[in-house]
Amino acid sequence: MFSELTPLLHDGKKLTRHLSCLFIFALVLGLISYFFLDQDLAVFFRKEENMSLWILAREVTNIGLGQHYFIFIFLFLGFLYYRGQRTWLKAWAWNSLAALSLAGLFLLLMKYLFGRQRPHISLDSSHGTFEFFNHHWDYQSFPSGHAQVLFTVATLVAVLDPKRKYLWYLLALLFSFTRVITYSHFTSDVIAGAFIGVAGSLFALYLMNRYSRFPLFKK
């Protein structure tokens, strides 16, 4: 992960190319999901015989709530400053805060802009209902905030543990899919949230590395 991330954090053009490829990949997956998976999966998980899956997913889905991670980071920063100089860990904590904030702000803007109806609102889990510029919770399905948070955290943890980066992304994907099982989001919402989580994190790390007092990777 270090060898992959370091050039991106020092070179805006490389980062732009990387994010462009990531965007195209997410867009293709999102469109496939929108046309072929979204409504069918939502209807499938709403069936009474799948209620046990809903109960299980409901128990773990809130691991993607952003406030848990903001609280942890603030407590972690307080601990680091209380205990003295731990420069690299301080940089990681400030970068994590920046990544969660930047990705989260962009996600909120997208939710408000698209105003997509959540799967549980209509009996047929209609996936094509959009009320643009709607701030009501029932119309903030796209993108998934839980997925954004989980993939932001996966990216940040992968910086600390590069050898197991694919494990962290797999866990983020599994926990994110609980949003589909609980019919809180469509599959394409999760894909979009995952993209924002990864892209927002990388962009925030780039800005922090270039302009802040707490760069993760020095030249």
Measured distance CA(11)–CA(15) in Å, rounded? 6
| Interval 197-209 mean pLDDT | 93
Comparing 11-15, 102-106, 186-190, the range with the smallest average pLDDT is: 11-15
Q: Which domain holds residue 44?
A: 2-211
pLDDT tens by residue, 63-100: 999 999 999 999 988 888 877 767 888 888 999 999 99
- If one counts the domains in the chain, the total is 1
Residue 4 has pLDDT above 80, yes or no: no
Residues paired with 116 in a beta bridge: 130
> From the CB of residue 121, how many other CB atoms can be counted at a distance below 10 Å?
13
pLDDT tens by residue, 137-174: 999 999 999 999 999 999 998 887 878 889 999 999 99
Q: Say what the pLDDT of residue 181 is.
A: 95
DSSP H or E run through 123: none
- Across the chain, what does the average pLDDT equal? 91
pLDDT tens by residue, 105-128: 999 999 999 999 999 998 888 999
First-residue to last-residue Cα distance in the chain:
16
Domain assignment present for 78? yes
Q: Say what the pLDDT of residue 69 is.
A: 94
Which residue intervals of the chain are DSSP H helices? 2-10, 12-36, 38-45, 51-60, 66-83, 87-114, 145-160, 165-181, 187-211
Domain assignment present for 206? yes
Domain assignment present for 218? no
Nearest alpha-carbon partner for 26 in 209, 200, 164: 200
Contact 148, 194 (CB under 8 A): yes
Q: Say what the pLDDT of residue 1 is.
A: 41
Q: Say what the pLDDT of residue 215 is.
A: 85
Domain assignment present for 219? no
Domain assignment present for 217? no
- pTM of the full structure: 0.93
Comparing 4-13, 181-190, 204-213, the range with the smallest average pLDDT is: 4-13
Residues paired with 130 in a beta bridge: 116
Q: Residue 5: pLDDT band by 50, 70, 90 thresholds?
A: low
pLDDT tens by residue, 36-70: 999 999 999 999 898 999 999 999 999 999 999 99
Residue 6 has pLDDT above 80, yes or no: no
Measured distance CA(206)–CA(219) in Å, rounded? 13
CA angle 155, 200, 102 (to 5 degrees): 115
Residues 6 or more apart in contact with residue 205 via CB below 8 angstroms: 5, 8, 9, 95, 98, 99, 159, 216
State residue 62 phi and psi, 5-degree precision: -75, 5
Measured distance CA(45)–CA(162) in Å, rounded? 35
